[in-house]
Amino acid sequence: MRDLDRYGIAERWPKLNAMRQEIAELEARRGEAEAAVVAAREAIRAAQEQDTEAASKAIRGGKSVPDAKHERKALAALEDAQRNAAAYTRAAADAQTDLARFTAKHRAEIRADILGALRDKAQRLHEHATEAAQLYATIADSHYDLKDLTPPPASDEPAGTGQNMVSIISVTRQSFGPNRGDVEGALSYLASLVNQYQESATVTEEAGAA
């Protein structure tokens, strides 16, 4: 299950948070244990090489071949690492099962809390998008007023040069960026999201009453 912090309701579910934290820690330890298994498996070859070298020296020295103590030690280390990894794998799986059971048991309450948080966020988005639309409309319409207020070129300076050209350019309608209708449509869509969550709340309340 996703982190409830993103909805701002994590403090309402301390047990759920603790279970998620436990799973995260177990998964991290499981990863370390599996890495230890890989390292232990790779160490076997080096141990075999040590034993082979020791046996070679013994033979050349007229002695009996010694036991493969390095390989035996490496194999024991591998077995320990594998048992450790298996234990963490089981622990992580059991914790995931507990989380799934807890979530299933409290599914309706968690869903209601998430929907409540989304309604609050959608309401805030509605307010911001509405304000943004009003501000954008004012800015988009301003070129009409500025165009009417642009001073005429001075009589002793050709039109379209110098400071007057700067003034004219500054109030010319921008030809880059998205179309105004696209911007206003996007803001209108964001503002309307609040209606979806109000409808969801009504359906949830009706289902709970039934």
The 10s digit of each residue's pLDDT in 21-59 is: 999 999 999 999 999 999 999 999 999 999 999 999 999
Q: What is the pTM of this model?
A: 0.65
Angle between helical axes of 107-148 and 69-105 (0-180°, round to 10)? 80
Domain range summary for the chain, segments of one domain joined by +: 4-105, 110-209
Q: Which residues contact 30 (CB under 8 A, 6 or more apart)?
A: 85, 88, 89, 91, 92
Burial of 70 (0-12, 13-18, 19+ CB in 10 A): buried
The average pLDDT across 12-18 equals: 94
Q: In whole angstroms, give the CA distance from residue 198 to residue 177.
A: 34
- Mind spelling out the 3-state secondary structure of 125-169? HHHHHHHHHHHHHHHHHHHHHHHHCCCCCCCCCCCCCHHHHHHHH
Q: What is the pLDDT of residue 147?
A: 81
Q: What is the pLDDT of residue 200?
A: 55
The 10s digit of each residue's pLDDT in 67-78 is: 999 999 999 999
The 10s digit of each residue's pLDDT in 164-183 is: 544 544 544 555 689 999 99
The average pLDDT across 75-91 equals: 97
Whether the per-residue pLDDT at 6 is higher than 70: the answer is: yes
